[in-house]
Amino acid sequence: MTSPQPAAAEVVVAVLTFRRAEQLGVLLPQLVAQAEELDADGSWSTTVVVVDNDPARSGEPVAAAHAPRVRYVHEEVPGIAAGRARAVAEAGDADALVFIDDDEEPTPGWLARLVGTWHAEGRPAGVVGRVSPTYAGVSDPWVDAGGFFRRRRHATGTEVAAASSANLLLDLRLLRALGLTFDRGLGLRGGEDTLLTQSLTRAGHRLIWCDEAEVVDHIPPSRMDRRWVLRRAFSHGAVASRIELGFAARVLPVRARLAVGAVARVAAGLLRALLGRLRGDLGQRARGWRLAAKGAGMLVGALGRDVAEYRRP
């Protein structure tokens, strides 16, 4: 008697979108092609879910053009945290959930490498892929000198402590066992991916880097100036403090430590910016101001104030 074939493991690729129908139209055919490539040997069964946070449902006709491989859902609650939590819920009993942003594009073989690393590494809590920037227009020389869009890279197999969800695979079976998802309470603040992935690694679970699973991040002109960089640094600092406070068993000592560290960063950043000015080093100046902005955000977060990075007009 022939033994029955084992059921294919289920993979869901989630794309969160908000008023980026054109970019979504470029991305979805690539995801469909990579899903079909992954499923070719019968070991995997892959679907794509579009989570649209636009009240006008601008992504719906784009997703509908790629049904049934692509499924569309509309998330009414504003905010990236709600969208990511909805993606986890929509994935149901699937084995793995992969996130890619709607302004990114995967390189050839991206999905197979991400999933393959997860399988080869014994199905860890998550696999983090590489994000490489490309620029749509001319950026501020201050931004170029600071190197703010250059991302860190690691050798494949390296364990990392936290990750963004710009290129991330999560083991859904583990999330279900732990009762974890993205914290909707973060609303428009951001940081829900850092909070979730840190929760996993602090509990002893592994996040593994895969350098070959690369996506390209399209940086628009609106982000290529110093004001955006400084606002982003301030917001990230505030969120980092709020996350650290969330893990604290005793809040007051942690709040004090964060506040002292924040003030030190502001001072160090301003000193670095001054030295850069005196030396004519634009990169040092830019990095100094960014450090000071992050320190200021950390201080605001340590004092319990919220910063809504994804606030909408």
pLDDT of residue 191: 82
CA distance linking residue 99 with residue 196, whole number of Å = 14
Which tokens is 153 given?
């890279």
How would residue 141 be classed by pLDDT, with cut points 50, 70 and 90?
confident
Quick one: fold of 9-223?
A: Spore Coat Polysaccharide Biosynthesis Protein SpsA; Chain A (3.90.550)
pTM attached to this predicted model: 0.88
More confident residue, 49 or 184: 49
Task: Answer whether residue 313 shows pLDDT above 70.
Answer: no
Which tokens is 34 given?
């990579």
For residues 224-236, give the mean pLDDT: 90
Amino acid symbol at 154: H
CA distance linking residue 170 with residue 156, whole number of Å = 17
pLDDT of residue 223: 86
pLDDT of residue 1: 34
pLDDT of residue 309: 54
More confident residue, 79 or 34: 34
More confident residue, 225 or 304: 225
For residues 176-182, give the mean pLDDT: 94
Residue 201 half-sphere exposure, CB side, CA atoms within 13 Å?
16
Over the stretch 7-27, which tens digit does the pLDDT of each residue have? 679 999 999 999 999 999 999
Q: Label residue 50 exposed, middle or buried (CB < 10 Å: 0-12, 13-18, 19+).
A: buried
Task: Answer whether residue 222 shows pLDDT above 90.
Answer: no
Task: Answer whether residue 311 shows pLDDT above 60.
Answer: no
Q: What count of other Cβ atoms lies within 10 Å of the Cβ of residue 207?
A: 22
How would residue 307 be classed by pLDDT, with cut points 50, 70 and 90?
low
Task: Answer whether residue 305 shows pLDDT above 60.
Answer: yes
Over the stretch 48-100, which tens digit does the pLDDT of each residue have? 999 999 999 999 999 999 999 999 999 999 889 999 999 999 999 999 999 99
Return the closest-CA partner of residue 276 out of 82, 142, 151.
142
CA distance linking residue 237 with residue 194, whole number of Å = 12
Counting residues of the chain whose pLDDT is more than 70, the rounded percentage is 94
Over the stretch 261-280, which tens digit does the pLDDT of each residue have? 999 999 999 999 999 999 99
pLDDT of residue 6: 53
pLDDT of residue 2: 38
| Domain ranges (residues) in the chain | 9-223, 226-302
pLDDT of residue 241: 87
Instruction: Tell how strand 167-171 and strand 126-135 pair up.
Output: antiparallel
83-95 burial by CB neighbour count: b if 16+ within 10 A, else e?
bbbbbbebbeebb
Angle in degrees, CA 139, 267, 148, rounded to 5: 20
Task: Give the chain's mean pLDDT.
Answer: 90
How would residue 144 be classed by pLDDT, with cut points 50, 70 and 90?
confident
